[in-house]
Chain A
Amino acid sequence: MNTITIECLRYHPESDAEPRFQSWPVPFTDDMSVLQGLQYIKDHLDGSLTFRWSCRMAICGSCGAMVNGVPRLTCETFLRDLYPGPVRIEPLNHFPIVRDLAIDQADFLGKLQSVKPYIIPDAEPQGTYLQTPEQMERYYQYSKCINCLLCYAACPQYGLNDRFTGPAALALLHRYNADSRDAGKAERMEVVNTEDGVWGCTLVGYCSEVCPKGVDPARAVNQNKIESTKDYFFRFFRK
């Protein structure tokens, strides 16, 4: 069995004046993820280490962290790929730290709510909504978002200006706007059209690169720059 050094950012606001790093040697097998490495530390070396996790299989989106400076889900990042290390684990960039690796998600949750991430049907729904495979294809990839916030940690614009609605919320906004069963586009365009809506993005594209679910938020945002531009100029002809 090999051993790898895991270097973790620690911050307990009640006792630490500022964040610090702590290292542990962690024995690992080839099938062990970074998350399992953290669990080994918590179970055997230091029970006070705090981090979020749940499903262990890239579904729940809880275990995101910066692994050697890159936003990753720790459950699907393997220690064998990081050997000989050391592995540096930090909380996701651009978010306030609650404790150790646990970040405060409140800002994102507010933004998620602001984009109305649910189907807003017509006033009078007419029975079952039928949808063709082509219609589903238009939104399907965006529906795979698990709210893990890796894209927010990757986004330099969110880092510079946290009022920016950000990649995941805008991708989910697009997921509902692009759904043939939805009639809430006009309400959501109000968010899209603001300075901190799609216009906070400068198409860096790192959000799409780090997404563990193959969602392409950069594409969603930039499709909505076109939508917002059409909305801006065509509103004069509509009424």
Chain B
Amino acid sequence: MTADPSLLVEDLAFAYPDGHQALFGVDLRVERGERVALLGPNGAGKTTLVLHLNGILTGGRGRVSVAGLPVQKRHLTEVRRRVGIVFQDPDDQLFMPTVGEDVAFGPRNLGLPEPEVAARVDEALRQVGMAGSADRPPHHLSFGQRRRVAVATVLSMHPEVLVLDEPSSNLDPAGRRELAEVLAGLPVTMLMVTHDLPYALQLCPRSVVLDGGVVVADGPTREVLADADLLAAHRLELPYGFDPRTVP
């Protein structure tokens, strides 16, 4: 395997066509196998950054590369295989008639032979604890199950990096815990965009804080969350009574 980091973002700046500038020179390096939380208030540029990782947004200043491969138009298929994004609303992500077909969507786009597609669907559904649900229509699943299937739709592409947009949002406490157990057991590099700071502490040893389109903090999650001044300056707040220093 290469020594290239899973994700390398260098001096990335981007303005939307309407002139709104969302990123002002972001640098981020995520090593292979790391789990990193991307924190920041609404409007900080988190989603804009995420959409650059697989080349859905391009054309600004700076460079992005995934395991050494630059994100450019001619590499788009391979880049999108390497970067698996799980979007916030599973109903946006699950558009095929059945769970199995949805998990197969990515591998089939990669042109894999059918036996390989079937094996990957089985493997991905097992990884998220949804084995045996391949024939069910997505809208018959609970919200937590749909979120886990959404993760499987990306795992089936064997991504280098798993990018999760607000993975714990709208989940009930049990669904939130089940997803955490699934995510903690996955052997992939992970970038998790979240407002759920305890979740970040539970799952990600490292946190990066993005605000105003730049990285304003990058360090061990426990230290970042213990820095009350930093949190206050960037509209981040811990839940009532939560003390990151006393969590095991």
Q: Do A and B bind each other?
A: no
